[in-house]
Every structure is written in structure tokens, then in C-alpha cells.
A and B are shown apart, each in its own frame.
Chain A
């Protein structure tokens, strides 16, 4: 049995945005269906993590992923959600190699860095992603409303490479702020990180905003899937 691998999260922000389902389908391989928030409306997530501790040391990560229909009958517990990462970027080569070797995640092969800046009142957090320290990639702001609540959610993640198709099983825990007030914002730059993503179809106002602090991501295992597929955005 694979060892559970833990990643300690000092800061994590996630903006979920609407895109047309017909656009979402273009990224997904056969056998993976997009989740619809409403008829014809699918969801794409832009997530930024600051990992304070991990097997690859401290690092930062940017993930662009689609929300997908989870697979049932494999896990003992019902997954909270499933994602299909389109592209991932990391702040170090070690982190990148680690995620590719262990979890087969599709990566942008250049280093990025994320500057996290809380607002003066502490009610919002902005993450600015740069490539090679000076090329702006994306800026995401999420806000916090209501109370911080403990979260423990089980996820599936679909990914693959030349060796096969896989489903990662992980859980996330920590203190979470989650809402659909639409008060956050995003700025997507025309950068080569997004060369496989059609930015024009992404609704600019967030459908949902999540902000995680004092969190832990536990990656339980990678399940080999029978039907192979190819990541159309593989870089």
C-alpha cells in the first residue's frame, strides 16, 4: 500500500469560475464528464497554494483544473468532489519532479512564484503569480465572509501520462472560508502558462471563493484506471 503523503498548507486560495460546458468538454478526455453548476455551465478552478512543509520542501503551486464527475464504487467513502487538473505550475524543480513522479500531474515546466498579500482588514487575500519573478501570469483575490469553519473533504483527481491514466485520492483539511458572494476577482494574463487554456470563455466573476488556512493536503494513493486517456493540454 502506498504511503499517505502530506503537504502542509500555510495559505490556499481558490476561485471557481463558470465556463460553458461545451468549452469544458474540449479539455476532458473520453470517460471524464464535467460537473455542471447549472444547465450548460461547468466550473474551472484557479488554485494557489503555499506549502510550508512537504516531501519536496516548502514550495508554491498554481493549479488550473476542471470540476469533474467523481467515480463511485472505488472508494469506501463518497468523494466530496473530483477535479481534472489541466495544468500545474510549481516554484521549484524538486516540487515539480516530485508531483510528476509520484502523482503524474501535468506540469508547466518553468518556475513560478506566488506573492500572497492580505488586505489591510484581513478580510481578503490576493495571490499574484509570476513566472521567473517578473512575468505576470495570474492575479486572484478571494474574500472571507461569515465564520471560518473546520473542513475535511475527500477529493478525486484524474490525471495521466504516457504510463497510463490515474485517479488520485486525497483529502483536505483545515480552516475554510467558502462563499458565493462573487466579491473576489481575477486577472488572467496572456502568458504561455495558459497556452492550452481559452481564457475568453472564463466568466470573470467568481462563482465560488474558497480560502484555506492552517491546512493539510493528504494524498492517499493513485489508482490506475482501465481506460487510458491523453491529457490534451499536456505540456
Chain B
């Protein structure tokens, strides 16, 4: 037992985070579970209560939520949803989904290789392949399932997978499932990748993301491709946050850099720019055919609900027919990035609609979130271990649906609240 003085001086909430309760050995699994719960009781009251609050409206520019403190909060300006092109609540999309529910029912009631494949799925896959200018496409019921399915579907024990250190959890979990050796390289650092690829024999896969989800920066794709090719490694890109958004025609970061054919395996999601749910893999026919046979997260899982597929398909057709939506998003991104920078707000290395509002100090981020909410802005904080220690931030998402007035209000309010909290500008 520790002394009473020690226990009195102990501050569980501020001294711990999620990383502390992941590992723990002993005789009972519940030792870890109970420790976490003891901490959570204090953490929840101390600030974590702002997570997991249910929306009571569509994830549009204005939202209603039921707070964990029991209050109904209406009319908050939403800068946290991935609804980049406003498709999640677009009438074009929701009406297509309603019609599909009436035709197909709620769920697919089966996996894709037996009874769960519908004509709407095949239409969606063909449309995505055509949009991405690839030979073939296959779909998954989430972006997470797509990444673990693709990676564990094509890589095996004895192979080596090279991952950017900021890779999404689904990429890391896919690598773990594959049983291949995993090597991390420094974020966007082609020289470090080069050093780590050198001397590696056997089958090699380099995986990057088009836009990194916590920093909003673009992948350094030209140099990554050059180094990967030099060492005979295949390349996969996760364009969850960049497909349908980046590039002249929205074909992603690969189009932005003119490297669509240099990348072997393309992954993306339907839950961000297209406002639905699901993920896809596209590339050549051989790759997709192999994946449909060996991607276990697809094979052994119920297919996407047909209504979601119909909504996503409608969203795709809508943004193809209306490229000005994407252009409006980029106008909004540039406006808000510029206004935040003029106000001295640190937005890191972001070049996209994902804009980190850097706070750095983990202890201050929850209080600032509360202050922003009091000013009518819904912006969720991200701290360790989701990002590096001492790099707490807000992860702001811009939508094409935001108006200039809404963006201006956000820039001014964020700058003022940070200033009041003593967060130094332009570190």
C-alpha cells in the first residue's frame, strides 16, 4: 500500500491518459478494466464528457446535440464532421437512399460472395472505377474494413510493410493481421524510407495516406514513389480524406501530383466526401479479383446496405455533375486557412480541408472546447495518444456548405478563445 500522503497527492485524471490502460499484466483481465474505469470516472468529469455526445440532427453546418451533462444544445456551428462536400444531408442523396430502402429493404442480408451482392453495389463499383480511371473496384462495409482487408489480403508472413509513422489505425491493424514485418518511417520522410527499404529483400509494400487525418498535410507522394520504385516496392495509398476532394477532377492526391498510374493500390472511403459509409479498393482487374477472394473483412462480412450504396452513388453522380461544389470547398479552405493565419492561429502544416488548431498543452484543450461551445462552435479536441504528447489540438473540418459568414465567425471566435486561454499564437 502507498502512504496516505502519496494517495492524497495523486491526481488520476491529469496523470493518466488512454495509453496507460492498454497494457497490464497480472492474474485478472479485470485489473486493467477496473483501473481504466476508476480513471474514467474522474476523466469524464474532468473534461472527457464532451466526447461521445449524441447528435440529434443531421451532421450539417448547424447541429443539435444532447450533451452528456443532460442539456439539449441547438444551433451549434459544426466544424467536426467529415461532411466535406455536404453530401451527408443533401436531399439528392437522402432521397436516393429512401427510394433504395423502399426497393431493397434495410440491409443486404448476406456477404458479397453469396447472397449479399445487389445490382446497386455493382453499379457503385463500376462508377467508382470509372471516376478513378481504374480498371476495377470492389467495396467494403467501412473504410476500416477496406484497409484491413486490402493489406491482409495481399501481404503475408515473410513480407515487409513500410508505414508512415502517422498511419491510421486501420492501416496498422491491417499490417498486424497480415503477419508481415512492419517498419515505420518518419512522417513524409522519403530519405528515412529510403534508408529502411535499403537491404530489405522479398515482397515490399509502402503504404501512405493522401491527406493525413490529424494534420491535414498532403503526402509527399513524388519522393515516396521515387524511393519505392527504386527499391522495387509496391505502393498503396489511402485517400480517405482526399478522394473526391483533391486533384483537378477530385481523383485525389494521386491526381494532384500526376501519379495516378504510379501507385498500385488505391483505397478510399464513402464516409467523408460522399457522406455515407463504406470503403473501396481500386486498381487493375487482377488486383481486385484477387482481393475479392482473399480480403477476409469483405468476404466474411455483410455487404454495405443497398440504401447506403444508393445514397453514395447519388452523391458521386452529383459531385461529378457539379464540380463547383468541390471548388467551393477549396475556396472555403483557403479563406479559413488565411483568416486563421492572419489571426495568428497555429494551423500546423495543413494544406487541406482538415485543419489542426494547435493548442499543444494537453491540459488546456478541454477547457477551450467548452469555451468554444459556449460561443456556439462545435469543435472536438484531440490529445495524446491520438496525437503526439504535447501536441493537443482541435481537428477542424471545413465543408463546402459553410458560408463565408460562418467561416469568418469561426476564425474570429477561435482566435479570441485561444487568446483568452493563453495559447501563444504563431509558435
List residues of chain A with CB under 8 Å of any chain B CB: 4, 18, 31, 33, 35, 38-41, 69-78, 80-81, 145-147, 149, 151-154, 169, 171, 173, 178-182, 205, 208, 218, 220
Q: How far is the CB of A27 from chain B (nearest CB, A)?
A: 17
| A147-B186 Cα distance, complex, nearest whole Å | 26
> Closest approach, in angstroms, between the C-beta of A1 and any C-beta of chain B?
8
Chain B residue nearest to A151 (CB atoms) is B15
Q: Are A33 and B25 in contact (CB under 8 A)?
A: yes
- What are 9 A-B pairs with beta-carbon distances under 8 A? A39-B175, A69-B23, A70-B25, A76-B7, A78-B24, A80-B20, A151-B15, A220-B2, A220-B6
Note all chain A residues with C-beta closer than 8 A to B16.
78, 80
Other-chain residue from A73, A77, A151 in contact with B27 (beta carbon distance below 8 A) = A73
Of the candidate stretches B104-112, B272-280, B302-310, B385-393, the one touching chain A is B385-393
Q: Chain B contacts of A18 at CB under 8 A? A: 184
**In the bound complex, do residue A178 and residue B6 qualify as a contact, i.e. CB atoms below 8 Å apart?**
no
* Cα separation A4 to B31 with both chains bound (whole Å): 26
Known: A72-B35, A146-B360, A220-B2. A78 touches B21 (CB 8 A): yes
Q: Which chain A residues border B6 with CB–CB below 8 Å?
A: 171, 218, 220
Of A33, A40, A146, A205, the residue contacting B361 (CB under 8 A) is A146
Closest 8 A-B residue pairs measured CB to CB?
A72-B31, A180-B388, A179-B390, A78-B35, A73-B26, A72-B26, A72-B24, A69-B23
B322 within 8 A of A: no
Residue of B3, B172, B389 touching A180 (CB-CB under 8 A): B389
Per the bound structure, the CA–CA distance linking A152 and B5 in Å amounts to 13
* CB proximity of A18 to chain B, nearest CB, Å: 8
What are the interface flags for B387-405 relative to A under an 8 Å C-beta threshold, 1 for contact and 0 otherwise?
0111100000000000000
Does B25 lie within 8 Å of A76, measured CB to CB? Answer: no
Chain B residues near A153 (CB-CB < 8 A): 15
Expressed in whole angstroms, the Cα–Cα distance for A218 and B2 within the complex equals 11
Using known A-B contacts A72-B35, A73-B31, determine if residue A40 contacts B3 with beta carbons closer than 8 Å.
no
**Quick check: is B338 within 8 A (CB to CB) of the other chain?**
no
Residues of chain A within 8 A of B2, CB atoms compared: 75-77, 154, 169, 220
**Tally of B interface residues using CB under 8 Å:** 40
Residues from chain A with a CB closer than 8 A to the CB of B420 are none
Q: Is there an interface contact between B186 and A205, defined as CB atoms closer than 8 Å?
A: yes
Asked if B39 contacts A71 (CB within 8 A), the reply is no
Q: How far is the CA of A123 from the CA of B69 in the complex (A)?
A: 41
Docked CA distance A149–B362 (Å): 11
- Interface set, chain B 20-70, CB cutoff 8 A to A: 20-21, 23-28, 31-32, 35, 38-39
Complexed CA–CA distance, A29 and B74 (Å): 57
Point out the residues of chain B lying under 8 angstroms from A31, CB to CB.
25
Q: Which residue of A is nearest B24, CB measured?
A: A72
A208:B10 contact, CB within 8 angstroms: no
What residues make up the interface of B, taking CB atoms closer than 8 Å to A? 1-3, 6-7, 9-12, 15-16, 20-21, 23-28, 31-32, 35, 38-39, 165, 172, 175-176, 181-184, 186, 360-361, 363, 388-391
Q: Which of B1, B25, B182 gathers most chain A CB within 10 Å?
A: B25
B34 smallest CB distance to A (angstroms): 9
Residues of A close to B32: CB separation below 8 A: 72
- A78 and B39 contact, CB distance less than 8 A: yes
Residue of A nearest to B11 (CB): A152
Q: Is the CB of B391 within 8 A of A180?
A: yes
Q: How far is the CB of B281 from chain A (nearest CB, A)?
A: 21
CB pair B389–A35 under 8 Å, yes or no, is no
What is the minimal beta-carbon distance from A38 to any residue of chain B, in angstroms? 6
Contacts of B25 in A (CB 8 A): 31, 33, 69-72
- A147, B24: Cβ atoms closer than 8 Å: no
Within the assembled complex, what's the spacing in Å between the Cα atoms of A78 and B360?
A: 26
Q: A4-B3, A146-B360, A152-B9 are in contact. Are A178 and B389 (CB under 8 A)?
A: yes
Given contacts A171-B6, A180-B390, contact A74 B26 (CB under 8 A): yes
Residue in B11, B15, B31, B184 whose CB lies within 8 Å of A38: B184
Taking CB atoms, residues of chain B closer than 8 Å to A151 are 15
Give min CB distance, A32 to chain B, whole Å.
Answer: 8
B6's nearest neighbour on chain A, judged by CB, is A171
**Which residues of the other chain, A, contact B21 by a CB distance below 8 angstroms?**
78
Tell me how far the C-beta of A35 lies from the nearest C-beta in chain B, rounded to whole angstroms. 6
Q: Complex Cα distance A35/B388, Å? A: 17
- Tell me how far the C-beta of A212 lies from the nearest C-beta in chain B, rounded to whole angstroms: 14
Q: How far is the CB of B31 from chain A (nearest CB, A)?
A: 4
Chain B residue with Cβ nearest A177 = B390
A73 proximity list for chain B (CB < 8 A): 26-28, 31
B361–A147 CB distance below 8 A? yes
